[in-house]
Structure 1
Amino acid sequence: MVLSRPLAGHDPSRRSALGLLGAVPLAAGDLLAAPGTAEASTGRIPKDLRPGGAFDRYVKELADKEQFSGTVMIAYRGRQVLARAYGWADKESKIPNKIDTIYALASTSKLFTGLAVVQLVQQGKLKFYDLVSKHLNGLPAAMAERITVHHLLTHTSGLGDARRPGEQPPPEKIHTSYEGQLADFWENLTTFELEFPPGTRKAYSSMGYTLLGELVAKVTGMSFQDYVRQNIFLPAGMKDSAYYTRRQWLADDRIAHPYMYQKDGTRVDAVRNLDKGSVYGDAGQGSNSARGWMGTGGGNGFSTAPDLVRFAVALQGGRLTSRPYTEVYVNGKISAKPLKEDTSGNSLRGETFQAYGPVAPIYNNQRIITHGGGAGGISTSWSFYLDMDWTAIVLSNYDLQSIEPIIALERSLVTGA
């Protein structure tokens, strides 16, 4: 059962046949100041990141070509520099995407899972070197005897996201309750074989982060979703962020519907068409995260662009962990795969590391913590430039290929690469 996967570039063979997309005017939020603030007037804001600049023009160009639907936000020191929304949150009901539209995050919400675990370590309820089986029963012996909390956080547990090396995961089930969803997770887990001995390699694992969510629930005595709400969302002022159920996803017109690209060039509403899947899926039906009843530690929390800026501000301000444990959360633990070349063929400057939840690249000599997410009709990214006080949010209700060029341009313009 794959709930979400990391953002990965994918060029579809045909473009979708959607109508013209238009920008939605910005309504000022209670935290984020409008462009023209004191910071903008000091000249520290590159013109290409301001309204009408290169970044703004590029996103609009993609939207006009039907290659982007969603919300982008660039903030400096927690204050909005640029915010735009394009496309439809719900085409059937004619509801446009807005600056404060709520999006399913897919794997971007692993940021919250990792932070929840770090909070519990700070509270003395966990140790990073603890075997997961110290707190959770039901793990197969090969996992129970070897996998630590650190392994799960750094994707070095050996779980991966396939049942056996080279074997495809089983088709996703459509769940009508969270209890049934978790029962299916545990049933699948018992059939997994480790791809490698824990700690010897890195393989991205949504299954591992789902297990971390279960660990948080067991240690705290409350659901993972409630723990994150009370200990991350509320202290950070993230008023629209939650782990919504599929029923809420359908009923709440503030939440964007994912539109999955199909082989015939069309896009279908994932929440209303559970029998359909993404063309990027691994199983016969294709992936559709709406088949799960609710997001888990592995992915599919929901948030808005303004709330994700609030998350960065709260994290930096010490409202979510003490400063030493914030450093533990954001600092790279192991070297990850090298950064790819950009679209012009130039080698991207830096190296990527895995932190305890975020990915922690060094790009153009600047430290970044970031995470992307992708599933059928979902492409998301949160990036916080640690030493520059920039936050960049890209939230899309289109498939995986739609935002990688946006992230590449954002990173280049923010760091001056």
Structure 2
Amino acid sequence: MKNTYIQFLSCFLISFSLFAQDAKTPSFEWPDHNVSVIFKDFLVAYNSNDVKNIEAYAQKYHTRPSRMARRMQQLFTQYGKLQPYAVTAQRKDRLGLWLLGQDTKNWIEVMLVTNKTGDKIRGTGMMRGMRPKGLLPPYKAMAPNKMKPHLAAYLQKLSQQDHFSGAVLVAKGDQILFEGAYGDRNKQKGFKNNLNTTFCLASTTKTFTAVAIAQLAEKGKLKFTDFISKYIPEYPKDIAQQVTIHHLLTHTSGIELDDYAPFNQAVQKARNVEDLLKAQLKYMDHMNENRRKNFKVLNKHDYSNENFSLLGVIIERVSGMSYAQYLEQNIFKPVGMTRSYADYTKLAQDQNHAMGYTFYDKNRKFNPNQRQENTAYNDAIASPAGGVYSSVRDLYKYFRAINTGQLLGPAMQATLLKKHVKTFDFKEIDISESYCYGFETRRTGKVEHIGHTGRKVGVGSRFEYFPAQDMYVIVLSNYGFPAHNPASHIRDLIEPND
């Protein structure tokens, strides 16, 4: 579904201009625009984090006030207070701004679009996960020896505001520059997160699945060019004789079913990897965008968990082991990852794993006043697409093992981390992304990193390596989205495009 999101972003991005900036705090001059008054009121109401103020603002200015009030409250749980930084777009009926989290230090672009009379907002766009073009705060890369005190103060403040719960590790080569743990891993029992707490990784799991496939390829047990019909003969032949392992690894197969609720429910209830396959076979006729009829390989990136579920099936059938057993014997044990789990029966026996927390109840109703356990959203197994648990220290060992040739030889490592397919290229803000085999490579201005992100309800992970700086940034959170705030801020500290 990532392509739909990217298409939205492409339409949303417009060239922008930066205003004069102070060396410490960005200064901002409001443009002479009819929407500026509304935008100022938006920020006053939003930053108050007061339900009455937010509802009064939304009722005054928005054509769908209840929806907007809820979106503002949701946004505050992710970013905290926001301050204006730069104008991104000005037209007669709209104004777009880059906003910076006052304490979270993460970026978001918000655009307000008015109706014909200019007195009501008929549309609101919000773009997360990007950053402005050009030189950014702190305007100069932070020296490694200054990282520790800065991040300690920054993360402690976020934790006190309940804007972060989890663990963070930053390293340069074989030297850990900073590591810290914050918040509760189990609120009911009063257990705190620590540096050995194991967190659900969500989609960062895909890196393990890709490494496993690469290991099997290196041993000559499969080829990336093999059609999946060779390993999954029961899959419909008109699909399986077109789709290769390469297509699965790069999300270019076109196999995608997650728009169909019964399929998603079957995946959540799956008890093993074969059950994930059975779910696809059962609901095949409900493939997204009506692709099942006259199926053709998509041959362009369209992110889909179904690809990696099938890779899990291939790993099991080629290796003769369960997915969990394969990871344990071929990745976890060789690297010394004693705090990592792909077997939930073993995870259940470990008291030092983090419970996920969310503002959504089991019916997806949002309540900004109470974090709840995310048990209603958890899968029954560690899916090859997003279910492994690990700690920040283990993930650091893991990425180091990849980079030092402990898990793969040089040629296969290069194939794994090669940019195989372009995900997006937003020239307006100088950001581009490519997908490797189970890893993402993103260039943001001058800085480039390799890794993966993971996010689902009550779960968030950022797993990144910056080759030019030889730096590792690992952030795991049992609050979901808040994992992205520290990771994005640390990226700006490493390279603010100076």
Structure 1 distance, partners of 2:270, 2:284, is 22
Q: Which of residues 262, 267, 281 in structure 1 aligns to 2:371?
A: 267
Structure 1 distance, partners of 2:426, 2:387, is 25
Structure 2 distance, partners of 1:119, 1:301, is 18
Q: CA deviation at 1:369?
A: 1.0
Residues 425, 433 of structure 2: 8 Å contact kept:
yes
Q: CA deviation at 1:104?
A: 0.7
Residues 258, 288 of structure 2: 8 Å contact kept:
no
Residues 76, 389 of structure 1: 8 Å contact kept:
yes
Unaligned runs of 5+ in 1: 1-8, 17-43, 275-287, 342-346
Residues 244, 302 of structure 1: 8 Å contact kept:
no
Rg comparison, structure with higher value: 2
Structure 2 distance, partners of 1:321, 1:47, is 29
In terms of fraction of residues, the more strand-rich structure is 2
Residues 70, 396 of structure 1: 8 Å contact kept:
yes
Aligned amino acid, residue 268 of structure 1: Q
For the pair 1:310 / 2:397, whether they are aligned, the reply is: yes
Residues 159, 192 of structure 1: 8 Å contact kept:
no
Tell me what 1:255 maps to. Answer: 353
For the pair 1:237 / 2:341, whether they are aligned, the reply is: no
Tell me what 2:169 maps to. Answer: 73
Q: How has the CA–CA distance of structure 1 residues 99 and 161 changed in structure 2, closer, same or farther, with 3 Å as cutoff?
A: farther
Residues 204, 452 of structure 2: 8 Å contact kept:
yes
For the pair 1:369 / 2:450, whether they are aligned, the reply is: yes
Q: Whose RCO is larger (CA < 8 A, sep 6+)?
A: 1
Aligned amino acid, residue 73 of structure 2: S
Tell me what 1:4 maps to. Answer: none
Tell me what 2:473 maps to. Answer: 392
Structure 2 distance, partners of 1:339, 1:229, is 39
Q: CA deviation at 1:70?
A: 0.4
Tell me what 2:116 maps to. Answer: none
Q: How has the CA–CA distance of structure 1 residues 183 and 148 changed in structure 2, closer, same or farther, with 3 Å as cutoff?
A: closer
Alpha-carbon deviations, 1:123-155, whole Å to 9, x = none? 111111111111112212332121111111000
Q: Which of residues 348, 364, 382 in structure 2 aligns to 1:295?
A: 382
Q: Which residues in structure 2 correspond to 1:117-128 (within 5 Å)?
A: 117-128=213-224
Q: How has the CA–CA distance of structure 1 residues 115 and 12 changed in structure 2, closer, same or farther, with 3 Å as cutoff?
A: farther
Aligned amino acid, residue 215 of structure 1: I
Q: CA deviation at 1:206?
A: 0.8
For the pair 1:412 / 2:472, whether they are aligned, the reply is: no
Q: CA deviation at 1:180?
A: 8.0
SS at match of 2:178: strand
Tell me what 2:483 maps to. Answer: 403
Q: CA deviation at 1:335?
A: 0.8
Alpha-carbon deviations, 1:160-203, whole Å to 9, x = none? 3435xxx5564525638437844653444534436563243211
Structure 1 distance, partners of 2:490, 2:433, is 17
Alpha-carbon deviations, 1:207-257, whole Å to 9, x = none? 110110111111111111111111111122211112131x55554211000
Q: How has the CA–CA distance of structure 1 residues 108 and 261 changed in structure 2, closer, same or farther, with 3 Å as cutoff?
A: same
Q: Which of residues 204, 210, 220 in structure 1 aligns to 2:309?
A: 210
Tell me what 1:114 maps to. Answer: 210
Unaligned runs of 5+ in 2: 1-8, 10-69, 78-140, 361-365
Once the two structures are overlaid, the 10-residue window that deviates more, 362-371 or 297-306, is 362-371
Q: How has the CA–CA distance of structure 1 residues 365 and 325 changed in structure 2, closer, same or farther, with 3 Å as cutoff?
A: farther
Q: Which residues in structure 2 correspond to 1:5-404 (within 5 Å)?
A: 13-14=73-74, 46=143, 50-53=147-150, 55-163=151-259, 168=261, 170=263, 172-173=265-266, 175=269, 177-178=271-272, 181-182=275-276, 185-188=279-282, 190-193=284-287, 195=289, 197-245=296-344, 247-262=345-360, 263-265=366-368, 266-271=370-375, 274=376, 288=377, 290=378, 292-338=379-425, 347=429, 349-400=430-481, 402-404=482-484
Percent of aligned pairs with the same amino acid = 26
Alpha-carbon deviations, 1:27-86, whole Å to 9, x = none? xxxxxxxxxxxxxxxxx9715852221x44333332222111100110111321111111
TM-score by length of 1: 0.78
TM-score by length of 2: 0.66
In terms of fraction of residues, the more helix-rich structure is 2
Structure 1 runs (4+) greater than 6 angstroms displaced: 9-12
Aligned amino acid, residue 367 of structure 2: D
